[in-house]
Structure 1
């Protein structure tokens, strides 16, 4: 049989393993992975071979299942608690970045972050991602750090332990450098750039939440009653941008609860396109971005007063 007709063995994809690290070894000389693991971990040949074949071992940045892989001097070999999960696929949710401690995901509108309505628990970002990570690590859990409304697309952050969650939640004000949203707003904005503020409706026994955002007008309708705006929320947890605009006599297009005059089939014209976040343990903030929704500009034509002038 010619070499061309031979069936080549399948090789596991080279992916990062985000599950917690159980053991770490540094190669003091070049050697096959199997030999290095046996020597460093005191495992016998069979146990070391089975461990590598399980997919729980990574060399440098990448996981491997090849016992014969040569490990260069100085490289780190890590044994993880779980195997790297298969690529995650969902029409309304994608993983933007992940580490041993945190997961940043982008969710589309129509998918709730968590089960606040006590129904359809299986259709939340938290549940879908939790099930994904449990496939690679038995007992894996995720904990919500921030939340976006069902009808708001944007970045949501989850922690992989209670300790990681509490740290980021406590320090969110200084670590969430910028949270950038784009919206189509109905109402009158007097300034091209202005600060808007709103407070929560919590009872007096709890601390009042406050949200302040810089709102910059990118373009307005000719009548001046509709605007495409960029919203920059700094140093605050977002409890509701709907309330932010509602308390200031404005409404997001399609948000009938805030007296929007236009219905958009359950869609509201609000989505997050940027998040600048300083992850605990890292020196520089990470930047997560999405394309600018240029189709928003076409909504300015929905200004009823403007239509009457055409």
Structure 2
């Protein structure tokens, strides 16, 4: 849903090099830092006719900055995703379950098509360029390039640019180990089932670190950090540990307490492909994951 607004902008010209947040504070007669941040996050600032929300966006002499004190022009709402961060080059979203990151068939609704529609209706001359993916039934954080330059830098330098990727999983059974690592080689068979081997089977090497956050006799809440980003890596590695992801119809054991694949990409840290700023994004553990522990009387918290 898009609710159009027509805010009035005031035009300013940059007279000396600075960053966007202090510029907005000074331009609007010394408004508070929190108010300036609200204007930025609300889509109320354009630099050289492009919406920018990055607080430390570098301004150089001669740039044109347009500022509106009104709330953002378009209120974006979708049951499939919410926008976490956006600037001229990238957009970070939190994806819900039930939708693909990109279409597998022509005309299919997916995160990319929703974002492209949003860009069109907000008159941004850009498109959502896929950098990485989450499975249809995995929720969590994704970054898309808004320009080909940003997409190419992210894609070709992904391992150097991304400094931290973490997931939360609700796993079946009591995880006895408080922390550890799983390494194996992953390879698909002809039916596209990913198999794990402790020795090189011609597949791709995969390494996952895990930490048990909470556990009962029936379920464990596990944080997982990826060193490699292989297809189905977490799902297969938790299967290797004999504690598969709850709700996993492909690699699970039938344990499905909340009617969904219980895997959520909750943290994503990376260097901005254009500005090189280090960005950190984190979302809350899905409430449904925590709900299963409320009914468990034998709960204990892992150290």
TM range (shorter): 0.5 to 0.7
Extract unaligned runs of 5+ from structure 2: 17-44, 52-60, 67-71, 190-201, 299-303
Contact 2:204 2:230 in 1 (8 A): no
CA distance in 2, matches of 1:210, 1:152: 22
Cα separation, 1, equivalents of 2:76 and 2:149: 25
Contact 2:175–2:215 under 8 Å retained in 1: no
- With over 3 angstroms needed to count, the CA separation of the structure-2 counterparts of 1:287 and 1:92, relative to structure 1, is same
**CA-CA distance at 1:139 after TM superposition:** 5.8
Distance 1:13 1:78 in 2: 13
Change (3 A) 1:138 1:280: closer
TM normalised by structure 2 equals: 0.66
Displacement, 1:262?
2.0
Shift of 1:299: 2.3
Give 1:78 shift.
Answer: 5.5
C-alpha distance 146-59 of structure 1, shift in aligned 2 (>3 A): closer
Kindly indicate whether the alpha-carbon contact (under 8 Å) linking 1:254 and 1:268 is maintained by their aligned counterparts in 2. Answer: yes
Is structure 2 residue 274 aligned with structure 1 residue 281? Answer: yes
What is the CA–CA distance in structure 2 between the aligned matches of 1:93 and 1:11, rounded to whole Å? Answer: 24
Query: Deviation per CA, 1:200-258, whole angstroms, max 9, x where unpaired?
Result: 3258xxx943332211011221x3x5311111224x33522222322443311111221
Select which of 176, 181, 184 maps to 2:167. Answer: 181
TM-score by length of 1: 0.64
The Cα of 1:128 is off from its aligned counterpart by 0.4
Residue of 245, 255, 263 corresponding to 1:262: 255
Q: Give the aligned partner of residue 178 of structure 2.
A: 192
Deviations 1:134-190 (A, max 9, x none): 234476322100111111110111112333212111211122211121111125644
Question: Whose Rg is larger?
Answer: 1
1:218 to 203, 213, 220: 213
Q: 1:94: how far off?
A: 1.2
Alignment of 1:1-310 (within 5 A): 12=7, 26-27=14-15, 58=46, 76-77=63-64, 86-116=74-104, 118=105, 121-122=108-109, 124-137=110-123, 140-187=126-173, 189-201=175-187, 208-221=203-216, 223=217, 226-234=219-227, 236-240=228-232, 241-264=234-257, 266-293=259-286, 295-300=288-293
Q: Is contact 1:198–1:243 with CA below 8 Å preserved after alignment?
A: no
- RMSD of aligned residue pairs (Cα, Å): 3.7
